[in-house]
Structure 1
């Protein structure tokens, strides 16, 4: 797909979506939101793609809202704001529910709405110099649209602090709260992402997708009869699937499974 604001590379099993507006710190606008939504929808539908990396150019990963977009929003009616926020919410939903595993490659600062991009990815690796901030309260706003994903990522206790104070925190604190999974020096960022990709690509493609759906379906739910029945059906379905049978047979026969060329 063509875009002025990002690039999409999907030549093999890994697709990389890169935000390419370093001059505005890869900030959101209506057009950027639409293109990110289209990009994740497209890569999610590509059969050969088994993992997606979300990256960015320049010193910032994403600074939230573009200033020109904010100026336009300042004059919106409530109804116009509902439509506008709905587009951001749809972008976040598309990333979060992308059928492929997603990795945020965080090379720089992440502010406001950009925090939602990181939180919506299944995994996040950050450079040690990256800073993080939920800055909305500083300008009289709240991080409402991104909140379901950010709270899931960092937990309610950390959210109480950083939503309310708008403090900037470093990569070490992002790691401590669980907002990111790994922090490395900038020069080791690609190697760390490649390490995660190696694990993802060595696993059964169908099982990886099923595991992602499992987490989305189970997280936060009460353990009741309905949930137990769903999980029982889930393991029964995957055991009876072609890849499930192939994986077990490969393990028992001490050979590589078909998805690794066995």
Structure 2
């Protein structure tokens, strides 16, 4: 079988690379499971000081795989796993991010992208809503700016993603931008990192505890609706859905 998530280590930093180029690293049930398993290994590995989450190809993650989507509860579990991991998770983005992929960025503690990366919340255009991913995004982003992109599905660039709070930083060379970050993580003690991350994520986990069940149910209801079926069919057939004027 093809390895959907590749693992490599370098001086305490474990890099997990999403490697499903055939569907632009969209979150299929199999890819979500593979990433969850890789994160579990990182959590148990005393040699892992921090995790970098990155990708092959020109897309970090295209959102849910419409042909084989993960169960909404599984996606909630994956996002929570990133937030709860007792080690910092750093997103390294050199391509495009759409829909559910933005939830992965929101779950990460630090997110950096190259300036040619693009972002879009495309859920409204296929008849659903960014329900589950709001668990990680709403606590960490500017609500006024986010509202525009949630409601319109417009594409925006890395500079705007930094302004919203979706990204920590961006630059022409993402590895150059991340070099001092990774150096800092290597200099920090494992205990210090774990306890500091817990302070930073406490409010996010409170929102999971409060809202995860309702947002999971909302996601499942919307994805099974007639409008979503029309939206997803239109997307796969590369045409406008019936509601477009």
TM-score (norm 1): 0.74
What is the alpha-carbon distance in structure 2 between the residues aligned to residue 84 and residue 121 of structure 1?
Answer: 21
Q: How many residues align?
A: 206
Superposed CA deviations along residues 163-215 of structure 1, whole A, max 9, x for unmatched, are 11111111110011111011111xx2112222201011112221111100011
Shift of 1:155: 2.6
Give the equivalent residue in structure 2 for 1:61: 60
Give the equivalent residue in structure 2 for 1:139: 126
What is the alpha-carbon distance in structure 2 between the residues aligned to residue 214 and residue 3 of structure 1?
Answer: 38
Shift in alpha-carbon separation, 1:218–1:111, aligned structure 2, 3 A:
closer
What is the alpha-carbon distance in structure 1 between the residues aligned to residue 103 and residue 78 of structure 2?
Answer: 10
Aligned residue runs from structure 1 range 57-206, under 5 A: 57-69=56-68, 84-185=71-172, 188-206=173-191
Over the residues paired in the alignment, what is the CA RMSD in angstroms? 1.9
* Structure 1 stretch displaced more, 131-140 or 6-15: 6-15
Q: Within the alignment, does 1:43 sit opposite 2:42 as a pair?
A: yes
What is the alpha-carbon distance in structure 2 between the residues aligned to residue 220 and residue 30 of structure 1?
Answer: 23
Q: Secondary structure at the match of 2:140?
A: helix
What is the alpha-carbon distance in structure 1 between the residues aligned to residue 15 and residue 6 of structure 2?
Answer: 8
Name the larger-Rg structure. 1
What is the alpha-carbon distance in structure 2 between the residues aligned to residue 207 and residue 183 of structure 1?
Answer: 26
Q: Secondary structure at the match of 2:81?
A: helix
Q: Judge conservation of contact 2:136–2:204 (CA < 8 Å) in 1.
A: no
Shift in alpha-carbon separation, 1:219–1:112, aligned structure 2, 3 A:
closer
Q: Secondary structure at the match of 1:64?
A: coil
Structure 2 stretches lacking a partner, 5+ long? 207-245
Give the equivalent residue in structure 2 for 1:13: 12
Superposed CA deviations along residues 83-105 of structure 1, whole A, max 9, x for unmatched, are 81101111111111111111000
What is the alpha-carbon distance in structure 2 between the residues aligned to residue 44 and residue 170 of structure 1?
Answer: 32
Tell me which of the two structures has the higher relative contact order, counting C-alpha pairs closer than 8 angstroms and 6 or more residues apart. 2
What is the alpha-carbon distance in structure 2 between the residues aligned to residue 10 and residue 19 of structure 1?
Answer: 15
Shift of 1:220: 9.8
What is the alpha-carbon distance in structure 1 between the residues aligned to residue 178 and residue 16 of structure 2?
Answer: 14
Q: Judge conservation of contact 1:10–1:43 (CA < 8 Å) in 2.
A: no
Structure 1 stretches lacking a partner, 5+ long? 71-82, 222-262
Give the equivalent residue in structure 2 for 1:209: 194
Shift in alpha-carbon separation, 1:178–1:93, aligned structure 2, 3 A:
same
Shift in alpha-carbon separation, 1:84–1:172, aligned structure 2, 3 A:
same
